[in-house]
Amino acid sequence: MKKLYLFVFSVILFLGYMYKDTPHEAEFKPPISPYGLAYHAGNLGGQPVLLSEQVQWLEYEDSPRLVRENRYKGYKPPPRDFNSVITSFSIDMKYTTGLVFVGYGGAPEGSEAARTAKESQKQYRAEEHQKHNEWVTIMTNAGVRYRPNLTAFFLNNTLDSQIQSHEQLKKYHYASIYIPANKEEFGLEKYNPHPDWVSSDGYPETKDMYVEKDNRGKVITLIFCKNKERNNLEKRCHMYWNIEPFMKVQLEALFNRVHLKDWRLIQERSEKIIKDLAVDPKTISTN
């Protein structure tokens, strides 16, 4: 029995030394951004990204908002790296210039980051209460929040809805149901709110829907615009589109309705900002 104990002890000791001598992958430490803080690393729609202080409301797939068991007090998220799945965040952009709002004021004094942050704050604060301000909120939806089928989204807001029966539509006065206007505006097919919805809630409480389709009839852009302006801060149009194959991400842009004519420019500049977040991990030097 004594020999058996000695043998077991020797094996444990040997394995301990083996474990000790085995090299372990070092914890990823993201580089420092121009704002003086570490970047937020993650995977956005299949692409590795580094996010700086331009990003707001950053959410990962293990967020307590998404995972019930992580809502308990004391949940500590794991260290983030390029395998950490990002589900959403937002960025504010002045679409006419591409300037991105940065609310953080701690960038190194005299740096380009500090200068552009101050300029973005100055312009945003001066313009945010203007009736037709040019600031757009870009929102991302990826991971479990990604919904690639815009055609289904479109159909479920028409009389061909797959989620509501005609009886249900009639019962609720065809709320959020749109019918063809048989006209185009700014290169988009326009759909009007159903007449019963207008009669029930009043025209100001309804929306118009705008659609872009490809040559096969697939919906590639979907826009909903409110017909009532409540205050200067409320964005009156919500535009949805996907940026596959580069990323499995759906973008949502919120902007004032007067700028609907510039929807393509808003798309282009929004996409550029999001795509420019992607990096090649091989070129990243960490601390």
Structure confidence at residue 88 (pLDDT): 98
Q: Where are the beta strands (DSSP E) in 127-199?
A: 135-141, 178-185, 188-193
Neighbours of 26 (CB within 10 A): 7
In a domain, 12, yes or no: no
Structure confidence at residue 130 (pLDDT): 85
Structure confidence at residue 27 (pLDDT): 75
Distance CA 89, CA 140 (A): 6
Structure confidence at residue 286 (pLDDT): 62
Structure confidence at residue 163 (pLDDT): 84
Structure confidence at residue 164 (pLDDT): 85
Distance CA 271, CA 136 (A): 12
Q: Mind listing the pLDDT tens digit for each residue in 225-257?
A: 999 876 655 668 999 999 999 999 999 999 999
Domain residue limits at 251: 27-282
Secondary structure class of 139 (helix, strand, coil): strand
What residues contact residue 241 under an 8 Å CB cut-off, 6+ apart? 150, 220, 221, 222, 250, 251, 267
In a domain, 174, yes or no: yes
pTM comes to 0.87
Among the listed residues 165, 180, 172, the one whose alpha carbon sits nearest the alpha carbon of residue 196: 172
Number of domains comprising the chain: 1
In a domain, 166, yes or no: yes
Among the listed residues 43, 42, 41, 46, the one whose alpha carbon sits nearest the alpha carbon of residue 247: 46
Structure confidence at residue 268 (pLDDT): 98
Q: Where are the beta strands (DSSP E) in the chain?
A: 40-44, 47-51, 56-60, 86-94, 99-100, 135-141, 178-185, 188-193, 207-213, 219-226, 237-242, 250-255
In a domain, 21, yes or no: no
Beta bridge partners of 43: 48, 85
Report yes or no: 131 and 244 within 8 Å, Cβ to Cβ.
Answer: no
Structure confidence at residue 14 (pLDDT): 44
Angstrom distances, CA of residue 248 to CA of 89, 97, 157, 274, 275: 14, 26, 23, 12, 11
In a domain, 272, yes or no: yes
Structure confidence at residue 232 (pLDDT): 55
Pull the structure tokens for residue 243: 């940026």
pLDDT < 50 stretches in the chain: 1-9, 11-24
